[in-house]
Amino acid sequence: MQFSRTVVLAAALFAAVYIALDFNALYALRANQNTGLYLQSALDFVRTGSTFDQPDGKPHLLVHNQWLLYVVLAPFVALWPRPEMPIVAQTLALAAAALPLFAFARACGTSARNATLLAIAFLVSPSMQGWAYDGFVGEDFIPIVAFSFALALRRRSFAGTLLCAQLLLGIKEDEAWFLAWFGTLVALGCFRARDERAPRAAADRERMLGLAVVALALANGLAYYAVASRLGYAPEHPRYGFVDRQWPQQLTFLIEMLVPFAFAPLLLRWRVLAALPFFIELFLAQDRTYPLYHIGAYYTVPLVVCAALATAYVAAHVPNVARYALAGSLVMAGLFNNASVVHLGRRPFSRDPQYKLARSWATTTLPVDFPCEDVGAWTVASPDPNARLVGCGAPASRSPRPAWRDVPLGATTPWTRGPQASRR
């Protein structure tokens, strides 16, 4: 598989910029709690074989089916048990996603130049920047694995398709239902254009691939829910209903999301219905609605990935899409990107004066409570298995610390006295 040198350089630049920005946020005590949650859970897996973390109050694998994260993170956090480790893993996974996206576009017939433009547009888009600048989550691995899955499927590779499908199934439990849906559409030949009539043998192979993906997805999904239910747990998920009271905000989200793709997915006409499960998940939730349809929120990763794949396919038939996509991404990133500090007129943070004290807790096993207002400090201290985040309440009730206001934490709670004072 050959990649454009320009795409490799763009991915390396993206990774370098966001590793630096995320470290800056970490030292400014602005890191998202998910980074600490997954670090604490992965460290517990290394130390005890459990995946317990304090915010969940139970093993994280009973909250979400995310075994792939522990396969990836465990060896590295054992060597480097610091929040910087998941930050690096998150950023490299997102940056590397540009490579299989480029390869998929080429496999669809897009020229090398336009495939390069699309890959860079994807890196620049506010969605990608929001994911890279937010806390570590399993969904960060969806782009690289999903693009690789689409590439293997395009090439009708049984081994590659099923391997990538199995990896997707280890990112989160709801991927099972998404994959079952897509596998069904593949088996029915819904993704084959009229001018792409394949020989009968190739069409039969594609049908078998789709059915194999469906079987694998259902087996994984049913097995996980059966085990969790047997242990008395249910995976966490939003509450859904048929009432959608926030459609104006959701329409704005769709426009923001599609501008960096030059609205190319809409050119697929009825095939956009392939994304129907993602619209249902994002728009019919009755709680935590804002993060579900917010640009840069990790809930939106599957939908944005589908849009990127659709754009790569359309660009093979409408070449100008690639140029418009890059232009749209640059405009949105510079003027409308609220998910990151990469925005005209903004700058990185200053190191928080409380960072050293938060860091001192990371090397102990002493019990210590951090109030929810100090979530960034707790993330720094999260390698301490007894560091707890308390009093958070519902997400909608939390006061945000905007990405463009450089305000020190100013904490006066007991943890700021440090572990040495607690030992006395």
Name the residue range of residue 137's domain: 5-335
User: What is the rounded CA–CA span in Å between residue 49 and residue 285?
Assistant: 34
| φ/ψ bin of 232: left (φ > 0), alpha (ψ from -120 to 50), beta (otherwise) | left
Q: Is residue 282 part of a domain?
A: yes
Under DSSP, is residue 162 helix (H, G, I), strand (E, B) or coil?
helix
User: What is the rounded CA–CA span in Å between residue 116 and residue 322?
Assistant: 9
Amino acid 396: pLDDT? 53
| 60 & 114 share domain | yes
| 304 & 390 share domain | no
- List alpha helices for 108-157, DSSP H: 112-124, 126-133, 142-154
Under DSSP, is residue 320 helix (H, G, I), strand (E, B) or coil?
helix
Looking at residue 57, the DSSP 8-state letter turns out to be T
Amino acid 1: pLDDT? 55
Local confidence pLDDT in tens for the 424 residues of the chain: 567 899 999 999 999 999 999 999 999 999 999 999 999 999 999 999 999 999 999 999 999 999 999 999 999 999 999 999 999 999 999 999 999 999 999 999 999 999 999 999 999 999 999 999 999 999 999 999 999 999 999 999 999 999 999 999 999 999 999 999 999 999 988 876 555 555 777 778 888 999 999 999 999 999 999 998 888 887 777 777 788 777 888 888 899 999 999 999 999 988 888 898 888 888 887 776 666 678 889 999 999 999 999 999 999 999 999 999 999 999 999 888 877 888 888 889 999 999 999 999 999 999 999 998 899 999 999 999 999 999 886 655 556 667 678 888 878 889 998 887 766 5
φ/ψ of 3, rounded to 5, equals: -115, 150
Closest CA to 120 of 257, 21, 12, 20: 12
**CB-CB contact of 105 with 119 (8 Å):** yes
Q: Is residue 348 part of a domain?
A: no
Sequence-ordered strand ranges (E) for 27-140: 52-53, 58-59
The residues, any chain, with a CB within 8 Å of residue 251's CB and separated by 6 or more, are none
| 217 & 102 share domain | yes
Closest CA to 144 of 162, 171, 180: 171
Q: Beta strand pairing status for 368-371 and 387-390? A: parallel
Which of these three, 307, 335, 363, is where a domain ends? 335
| 319 & 361 share domain | no
| 378 & 271 share domain | no
CA angle 17, 131, 146 (to 5 degrees): 110
| 120 & 47 share domain | yes
| 104 & 136 share domain | yes
Q: Is residue 167 part of a domain?
A: yes
Under DSSP, is residue 223 helix (H, G, I), strand (E, B) or coil?
helix
Closest CA to 145 of 3, 301, 274: 301
Which of these three, 300, 335, 370, is where a domain ends? 335
CA dihedral 369, 372, 376, 381 (to 10 degrees): 10
Q: Is residue 345 part of a domain?
A: no
Indicate whether this model's pTM tops 0.85: yes
Q: Is residue 343 part of a domain?
A: no
**CB-CB contact of 340 with 32 (8 Å):** no
Q: Is residue 12 part of a domain?
A: yes
16: tokens are 């370098």
| Number of domains present in the structure of the chain | 2
| 182 & 266 share domain | yes
The residues, any chain, with a CB within 8 Å of residue 165's CB and separated by 6 or more, are 149, 179, 213, 216, 217
| 16 & 145 share domain | yes
| 389 & 290 share domain | no
| 140 & 254 share domain | yes
Amino acid 123: pLDDT? 97
| 396 & 258 share domain | no
